[in-house]
Structure 1
Amino acid sequence: MVDETLVEDRAVEGDAASASTRPAGALVIADRVVRRIAERAALNVAGVVRQQGTVGAVLGSSATDLLGISTDLPHANVDAAGTARRLSLTVALEWPSAVTRVCQQIRESVANELEQYVGDRPLRVDITVRQFIPRDEVTRRKQGLIDLPSVTAEPESATASEDTHDLDK
């Protein structure tokens, strides 16, 4: 006769061994995380400029993400089919710059950062340059300076016509 407690203990040990060989689950990284990593990696490349549009400034980044109307640059879109990812990045560059060289550096930086943080390289990184910003404006922004609209004097023809009104007629 076999001791039943020994059989039960061996069965439990066998189940534990088979459970340790099975994968515990899957790690899913959201596309918005990949977008943020790609945008940050693009900003780390010399010559790429952060540009905030008026819609992004008024509504905030979470609202523009939901509505899909972001005018902030750089901006990334992710096209994921399974584990294969394609990215489209829209950027603003300082001018003058070597556009081809900067875009190649952006591709390499984005691919390397995604491989480091997410664990896989994108199949393709497409880059669109939407805007060029003069280098002196970029320098002024980095120093924290802003440009205010110029104050213009009212045209004299407008004030002269107001003075010539004849109210006695």
Structure 2
Amino acid sequence: MQRKSFDQMPCPIARSLEEVGEWWSILILRDAFYGLARFDQFAQSLGIAPNMLTRRLKGLCEAGLMERRLYEERPPRYEYVLTNKGREFRPVLWTLFAWGNRHLAPEGESVVLADPQTGLPIEPVVVDARTGRPLAKGVRVVAGPAATPRLRARFAPRTGI
């Protein structure tokens, strides 16, 4: 069965999943944030088959999240580094990290996020950049400027209930 593509859907979550929704891709990005850059480092860290790693790295480069750079000419060897777009995924990863620790680690946290100066644990919170208000509650999804008529109808305010 062929996988459905989400790249033409008007939903930002669906489009994001098209770029990073495959679990190997997210784990590769995680390892890149941890400082890994070379094919063999990713392969060793993840225990992933070389052909799958090749496909995932190629996909991340095509999506503009990583960039392939030559670091040795003979024989040619490449490293994979995060682009600006890839680095902007960091808060998503840290939020997923914290959610996993909170809900999926009954044995306790095996790794935690920490402040680099104090070493104290950090709890990521998603906030509105304009107001600084946490987004855990009280957010409504509304149609944006490029919304289709179908999306406008879906997210129109409901009245009379």
Structure 1 and Structure 2 fold alike (TM over 0.5): no
TM range (shorter): under 0.3
Whose RCO is larger (CA < 8 A, sep 6+)?
1
Q: Higher strand proportion, which one? A: 1
Calculate the TM-score normalised by the size of structure 2. Answer: 0.24
Larger C-alpha radius of gyration, 1 or 2?
A: 1
